[in-house]
Structure 1
Amino acid sequence: MTGEFAAFIGLALVAVTGGILMLNVTKVVHMVVSLIFTFVSIAGLYVLLSAEFVAAVQILIYSGAVTIIMLFGIMLTNHQDENEKSPGRLKKLLVFLGIIAFAFVVYKGIYQLDFGQKTPAALHEKNTEQIGIALFTKHVIPFELTSVLLLVALVGAIVLAKKEEEDEA
């Protein structure tokens, strides 16, 4: 067993455990913490795949920004955890069986996958440069449309916030 395989197994177990915990814990803050574990371990898997830029983006965007936004949303809303019921044994058993079935299907799909004989690509060399070139040449229109969409969402949020302030006054 190589060190890379051991790291993959460890990171995969942390990712899957974080996902399962996120679905099974009852407190919302604990769900966010387990989601952070999942995001960080997925970033580690990207590092194993020689995609350091994608791993850094995973850490910055998902583990940082999205998690902070979720925590702010949780703190700014009122949650009554007393009324929540814990899932029954039958539901837990069905979820476990569903996870096992999904893992089996993914396992069979991966080992029956055939890419054919292609020449190996040098994906690990200058991958950030390759992403930049692809983003600003082949995919420049979707990139610009995404930035316009984010700008429209920001302006819309400001307009809605101003309208609520005016209604209260």
Structure 2
Amino acid sequence: MTGEFIAFLGLALVAIIGGVLLINLTKVMHMVVALVFTFVSIAGIYVLLSAEFVAVVQIMIYSGAITIIMLFGIMLTKHDDESEAQPGKWRKWLLLLGIIGFAFAVYMGIYNLDITQVASNLHVNNTLQIGKALYTKYVIPFELASVLLMVTMMGAIVLAKKDVKEANKE
């Protein structure tokens, strides 16, 4: 057992526990924290796979931006409705049975899988390789995406400003 394998098992366990807690917790803020643990542990798995760029993007976009958007959505909506029926105990046992069944199916699917290892230099300076490809080969789609995001942001500002003006008139 190598240190990399132990780190993978720890990160995978945190990701699975975060996902299970996300499903089972009842308070929305606790669910978001469990989701953050899952996102960060997946970023750690990306680091183990020598995909540092994807790991940083995972942390910035998912653990940062998506989680903040979810928190704003939670804070701006009414979620204190207690009229919903609480799930029974059979739901937790069914969930546990489903998780065990899925884990067994995945284990059986990869147990006898024969994957030959091929030497590759893809992980060497992968951020540099992504940057070179992005700004040479894919520069036009990159610029079109940035123009699209800028137009979207301007549209959101115009719509928000229009709503503020209407609210001030009343």
- Classify the TM-score, shorter chain: 0.7 to 0.9
CA spacing shift, 1:107–1:137, aligned 2, 3 Å: farther
Report if the CA contact (8 A) 1:18-1:38 is conserved.
yes
Q: SS at 1:83's partner residue? A: coil
Pairing 1:167–2:153 present? no
Report how many residues are paired. Answer: 168
Scaled by the length of structure 1, the TM-score of the pair is 0.84
**In the TM superposition, what are the counterparts of 1:61-72 in structure 2 within 5 Å?**
61-72=61-72
Scaled by the length of structure 2, the TM-score of the pair is 0.84
Per the alignment, residue 59 of structure 1 pairs with 59
Residues 46-80 of structure 1: per-residue CA shift (max 9 Å, x gap): 11111222222222222122222221221222221
- TM-fit CA distance, 1:112: 5.1
Q: SS at 1:87's partner residue? A: coil
Per the alignment, residue 88 of structure 1 pairs with 88
CA spacing shift, 1:161–1:123, aligned 2, 3 Å: same
Q: SS at 2:82's partner residue? A: helix
Per the alignment, residue 152 of structure 1 pairs with 151
CA distance in structure 2 between the partners assigned to 1:150 and 1:114 by the alignment: 44
Per the alignment, residue 36 of structure 1 pairs with 36
Per the alignment, residue 143 of structure 1 pairs with 142
Residues 77-100 of structure 1: per-residue CA shift (max 9 Å, x gap): 222142343322233233323323
Per the alignment, residue 50 of structure 1 pairs with 50
Report if the CA contact (8 A) 1:19-1:34 is conserved.
yes
CA spacing shift, 1:142–1:103, aligned 2, 3 Å: farther
CA distance in structure 2 between the partners assigned to 1:128 and 1:120 by the alignment: 19
RMSD, matched Cα: 2.2
CA spacing shift, 1:137–1:97, aligned 2, 3 Å: farther
Q: Which shifted more, 76-85 or 11-20? A: 76-85
CA distance in structure 2 between the partners assigned to 1:130 and 1:91 by the alignment: 47
Flag structure 1 segments of 5+ consecutive residues without an equivalent. none
CA distance in structure 1 between the partners assigned to 2:144 and 2:108 by the alignment: 38
